[in-house]
């Protein structure tokens, strides 16, 4: 400002002096006035340039704040140029800071959008400010349409409304999901987290699988306890009888045989549980290990005929059919366990006069099918989806009489999955059942003759 004052004063002195030389004192007065008007006019031009520059800055800041690098250069020269330069630097810094804040906000929103959990931001009045697509899918919201809507008007579950009204957010509340049905329940966990000035963060999480796993764990413990309680009760009763009573040798022998039978039953149950545990914790089978289908079928036939004799069903018709020699890539013990379980189930549930057909065939696409067809009582359609669950029984009394543990088909399912195969179950009451495993072509190795298998 001091420099500007000196320049203005010099401008007046120079103009007045030149005019005084031309027209004495009257000229000096006219020169001073003209010099002042010229100085004012020049400042007005600079002010106009500054105004135009500020207008352009305002337009850029309003329409495209991200154009930090394309800001027009500040007008230069004079004290107004210095002011414009400082304003230019300040505005550039502010736009850069604003742009950085917007980028950070977008990154945070993108991170919340990618969250596997639902995220809803609520204002102090409980209205939705923002939600991610996961929350929209969980609760049936529209991320654009439902902004500024009260969350209690959109989530009408009584449990959630009571949770909001109680204002105790120390624990989550679990409600039914939007797509929940009696046959396929969906469970959602919702929890509020207050933050800021009365604002709230509502998180949603799909806990369907967790609740199902917890229910399966409870059922598993209950079933194992139940399966072990019966033989243990029998054993303890016989032991107490042998300890307290003097019995004839033939009765002692009969009791010991019954105790051995119950002991074997518990041993079989423990072995099946250990097999399941090993299957769940082992790496996937390699394609380098191979076993001949004929060897698997031969062992299944030996076990099947022995089981049929033990169960007093010597009149059962048991047939094994193999259309072509082949090898399966996988773990031999696991494959043998799966196939034997299917065959033994057919033997157990087929009456004495019934028929069991075990077959292997190569399919046109290179895959292979192992199938067990029986003439047993069959299974109602509502039971088929649950047959591979642990300890699931269509008829508990009949299953227990047959000597099964309720884990055979669960073992089959795990072996099938580990080998990339597919288990198919077809059955109708009174029409028998057909269980088949289709192995993918990648695990089936064809052979033209048994000699080829030996060479491999």
Q: Which domains does the chain have, with CATH numbers?
A: 2-108 (no CATH), 115-206 (3.30.450.20), 212-281 (1.10.287.130), 290-455 (3.30.565.10)
| pLDDT (tens digit per residue) in 7-61 | 555 655 555 555 555 555 555 565 556 666 666 666 667 777 767 767 776 676 6
User: Which stretches of 287-367 are assigned E, i.e. beta strand?
Assistant: 290-292, 317-322, 326-329, 355-362
Give residue 68's pLDDT band: very low, low, confident or very high (50, 70, 90). very low
CA torsion angle 253 259 262 264 (round to 10):
-80
User: If you average pLDDT over every residue of the chain, what do you get?
Assistant: 81
- Cα separation, 336 vs 358, in Å, equals 14
Q: Closest Cα partner for 183 from 386, 448, 443?
A: 386
Q: Closest Cα partner for 286 from 318, 334, 326?
A: 334
Element (H, E) at 31: helix 2-63
Q: For residues 265 and 231, is the Cβ–Cβ distance under 8 A?
A: yes
- Is residue 373 helix, strand or coil? strand
Q: Closest Cα partner for 200 from 208, 209, 191?
A: 191
| pLDDT (tens digit per residue) in 145-174 | 888 899 988 898 899 989 988 888 889 999
Give residue 287's pLDDT band: very low, low, confident or very high (50, 70, 90). confident
> Is the model's pLDDT at 454 over the cut of 50?
no
Q: Closest Cα partner for 378 from 430, 415, 434, 446?
A: 430
> Is the model's pLDDT at 401 over the cut of 60?
no
Give residue 280's pLDDT band: very low, low, confident or very high (50, 70, 90). confident
State residue 456's pLDDT score. Answer: 44
Percent of the chain at pLDDT above 90? 28
Sign of CA pseudo-dihedral 406, 411, 417, 421: negative
Q: Closest Cα partner for 4 from 74, 78, 77?
A: 78
State residue 453's pLDDT score. Answer: 46
Q: For residues 407 and 401, is the Cβ–Cβ distance under 8 A?
A: no
State residue 395's pLDDT score. Answer: 66
For residue 180, count other CB atoms closer than 10 A to its CB.
14
Q: Which residue has the tokens 């991170």?
A: 111
| pLDDT (tens digit per residue) in 245-254 | 888 888 888 8
Give the DSSP letter string of 379-439.
--GGGGGGTTSTT--SSHHHHHHHT--S-HHHHHHHHHHHTT-EEEEEE-TTS-EEEEEEE
Q: Report the first-to-last Cα separation within the chain, whole angstroms.
A: 100
81-95, 222-236, 296-310 — most confident range? 296-310
| pLDDT (tens digit per residue) in 410-425 | 999 999 999 999 999 9
Which residues have C-beta within 8 Å of that of residue 411, sequence separation ≥ 6? Answer: 272, 275, 276, 279, 337, 338, 341
User: CA separation (Å) from 350 to 12, 354, 355, 378, 407?
Assistant: 124, 6, 7, 9, 19
- Is residue 34 helix, strand or coil? helix
| pLDDT (tens digit per residue) in 364-390 | 999 999 999 999 898 988 888 888 888
Q: For residues 399 and 340, is the Cβ–Cβ distance under 8 A?
A: no
From 41-50, 195-204, 222-231, the region with the lowest mean pLDDT: 41-50
Which residues have C-beta within 8 Å of that of residue 200, sequence separation ≥ 6? Answer: 121, 122, 126, 192, 193, 194
- Cα separation, 295 vs 336, in Å, equals 9
Size of the chain in residues = 456
| pLDDT (tens digit per residue) in 433-444 | 999 999 999 999
Q: Which residue has the tokens 């292979």?
A: 368
Partners of residue 44 on adjacent β-strands? none
């Amino acid at each position: 400002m001091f420099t500007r004052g000196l320049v203005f004063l010099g401008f007046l002195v120079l103009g007045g002096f030149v005019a005084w030389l031309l027209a004495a004192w009257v000229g000096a007065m006219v020169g001073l006035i003209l010099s002042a008007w010229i100085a004012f006019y020049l400042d007005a031009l600079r002010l106009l340039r500054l105004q135009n520059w500020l207008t352009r800055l305002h337009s850029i800041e309003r329409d495209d704040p991200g154009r930090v690098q394309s800001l027009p250069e500040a007008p230069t020269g004079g004290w107004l140029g210095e002011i414009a330069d400082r304003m230019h630097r300040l505005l550039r810094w502010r736009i850069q800071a604003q742009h950085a804040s917007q980028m950070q906000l977008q990154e945070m929103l993108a991170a919340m959008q990618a969250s596997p959990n639902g995220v809803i931001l609520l204002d102090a009045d409980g209205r939705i400010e923002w939600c991610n697509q996961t929350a929209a899918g969980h609760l049936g919201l529209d991320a654009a349409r439902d902004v500024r809507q009260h969350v209690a008007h959109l989530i009408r579950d009584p449990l959630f409304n009571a949770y909001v009204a109680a204002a105790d957010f120390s624990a989550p509340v679990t409600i039914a999901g939007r797509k929940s049905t009696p046959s396929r329940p969906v469970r959602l966990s919702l929890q509020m987290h207050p933050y800021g000035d009365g604002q709230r963060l509502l998180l949603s999480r799909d806990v369907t699988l967790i609740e199902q796993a917890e229910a399966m764990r409870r059922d598993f413990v209950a079933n194992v306890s139940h399966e072990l309680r019966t033989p243990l009760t029998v054993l303890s009763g016989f032991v107490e009888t042998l300890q307290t009573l003097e019995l004839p040798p033939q009765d002692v022998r009969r009791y010991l045989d019954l105790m051995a039978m119950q002991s074997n039953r518990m041993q079989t149950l423990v072995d099946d549980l250990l097999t399941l545990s090993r299957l769940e914790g082992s790496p996937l089978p390699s394609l380098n290990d191979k076993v001949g289908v004929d060897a698997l079928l031969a062992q299944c036939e030996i076990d099947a005929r022995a089981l049929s004799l033990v169960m007093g069903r010597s009149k059962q018709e048991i047939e094994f059919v193999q259309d072509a020699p082949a090898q399966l890539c996988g773990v031999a013990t696991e494959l043998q366990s799966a196939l034997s379980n299917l065959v033994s189930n057919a033997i157990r549930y087929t009456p004495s006069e019934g028929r069991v057909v075990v077959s292997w065939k190569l399919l046109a696409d290179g895959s292979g099918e192992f199938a067990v067809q029986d003439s047993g009582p069959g299974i109602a359609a509502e039971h088929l989806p649950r047959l591979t669950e642990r300890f699931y029984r269509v008829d508990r009394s009949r299953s227990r009489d047959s000597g099964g543990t309720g884990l055979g088909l669960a073992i089959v399912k795990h072996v099938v999955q580990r080998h990339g195969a597919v288990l198919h179950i077809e059955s109708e009451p009174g029409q028998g059942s057909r269980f088949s495993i289709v192995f993918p072509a990648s695990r089936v190795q064809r052979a033209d003759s048994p000699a080829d298998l030996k060479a491999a």
